[in-house]
Amino acid sequence: MRNNQQMMDLILNYARQDERIRAVAMNGSRVNANAPIDPFQDYDIVYLVQDVVSFTQDHSWVDYFGERLIMQMPDANTYDPPNALGRFAYLMLFTDGNRIDLTLIPLEQYSAYLLEDKLTVIWMDKDGSLPTLPEPTDEDYRVTPPTAEQFAHCCNEFWWVSTYIAKGLWRREILYALESLNLYVRPMLIRMLSWQAGIEHDFCISIGKGAKYLERYLPADDWQALLATYPRAESREIWRSIWTMTELFSQIALQVASRLGLEYNREEEQNVTAYLRHVAELPDDAADIYPD
């Protein structure tokens, strides 16, 4: 596997030899002092270039970076509209395990680009036209305390979509139930847990993409309870995850509300919990799973 120095030399050497590339920047975990270092970190690279189209007419130029296992070009995806800003990204996983996410950005957009992410480092500026950036920081990704409206919405969304899971289970629509659980209800639980973690750490933490760092900041019991909400695709298991999830959400939401001086709608919780128990008791479903 090529080491960090070899990869950076590769990236910068290509930029040096191509006059269309006027500047090189890096974003992401490799410039984040709070991110753990491991072999799977991407190289999130930006080339600020003249004439993006001259690169994208023939994609073979990226062969320079090495033999690939697979590549994705999201801005060439016909299912989604092309990048309105004229940017183009190459996501490349190489046979040696390294990965480069390389984005071409029109040079004239440099001012807007440099304001987009405080985790940005300039590696090359051929024209000396880019401003000096402050030290990279992950502060834009940190957990922030919720407003009263954000807290209320999180709670309402959690309890509202919980009813969809129950409906899906009664109908034996397992995929629908799991979609409701995983795409709508679980994110609200994780958001609530992130607020609790933020409170305990003075809102100076980032839980990372996909909440990948959340375990660091949760009590062990809460973390294990969260893991227990990931069920097998089987009705009884999903019901068990619902009871675990609703109990954990209620507990954490009450703590967050108390610590931040917010109002938690207990009536909403009680109404939905009663509804879930009612659906669980209906014929042809896992009636023996609901808690006493």
Q: What letters, b where the CB count within 10 A reaches 16 and e where it falls short, cover 255-283? A: bbbeeeebebeeeebeebbeebeebbeee
Per-residue pLDDT of 123-146, as tens digits, reads: 999 999 999 999 999 888 999 999
Task: Pick the closest to residue 59 from 90, 102, 38, 19 (CA basis).
Answer: 90
Q: What is the pLDDT of residue 80?
A: 60
List the structure tokens of 104: 């071409």
Q: For residue 289, is pLDDT > 60?
A: no
Which residues are CB-contacts of 32 (< 8 A; sequence separation ≥ 6)?
119, 136, 138
Q: For residue 287, is pLDDT > 50?
A: no
Distances (CA, A) of 248 to 123, 221, 261: 46, 10, 20
**pLDDT band at residue 39 under the 50/70/90 scheme:** confident
Q: For residue 30, is pLDDT > 70?
A: yes
Sheet strands side by side (includes 88-94): 68-72, 88-94, 99-106, 43-49, 21-27, 120-125
- Dihedral of the CA atoms 147, 153, 158, 164 (nearest 10)? -170
Whole-number Å distance between alpha carbons of 254 and 268: 13
Whole-number Å distance between alpha carbons of 289 and 278: 12
Q: Which stretch of 29-33, 143-147, 183-187 has the lowest confidence by average pLDDT?
A: 29-33
The residues spanned by each domain of the chain are 4-140, 142-281
Q: What is the pLDDT of residue 74?
A: 92
Task: Fold for 142-281, please state it.
Answer: Four Helix Bundle (Hemerythrin (Met), subunit A) (1.20.120)
Which residues are CB-contacts of 205 (< 8 A; sequence separation ≥ 6)?
142, 143, 197, 198, 213, 216, 217
Q: For residue 185, is pLDDT > 90?
A: yes
Cβ–Cβ < 8 Å for 1, 97: yes
CATH number for 4-140 (one of 3.70.10.10, 3.30.460.10, 3.90.1300.10, 3.40.50.2020): it is 3.30.460.10
Q: What is the pLDDT of residue 283?
A: 80
Per-residue pLDDT of 155-172, as tens digits, reads: 999 999 999 999 999 999
- Return the H-helix or E-strand segment holding 110: helix 110-114
Q: Give the distance from CA 8 to its chain's centroid.
A: 26
CB atoms under 10 Å from CB of 92, counted, come to: 22
Q: For residue 290, is pLDDT > 60?
A: no
β-sheet bridge partners, residue 102: 45, 90
99-106/88-94 β-pairing: antiparallel
CB atoms under 10 Å from CB of 121, counted, come to: 14
Q: What is the pLDDT of residue 237?
A: 95
Backbone angles phi, psi at 72, to 5 degrees: -125, 140
Q: What is the pLDDT of residue 81?
A: 58
Per-residue pLDDT of 190-204, as tens digits, reads: 999 999 999 999 999
68-72/99-106 β-pairing: unpaired
Per-residue pLDDT of 194-243, as tens digits, reads: 999 999 999 999 999 899 999 999 999 999 999 999 999 999 999 999 99
Kindly state the percentage of the chain with pLDDT values over 70. 95
Whole-number Å distance between alpha carbons of 215 and 227: 10
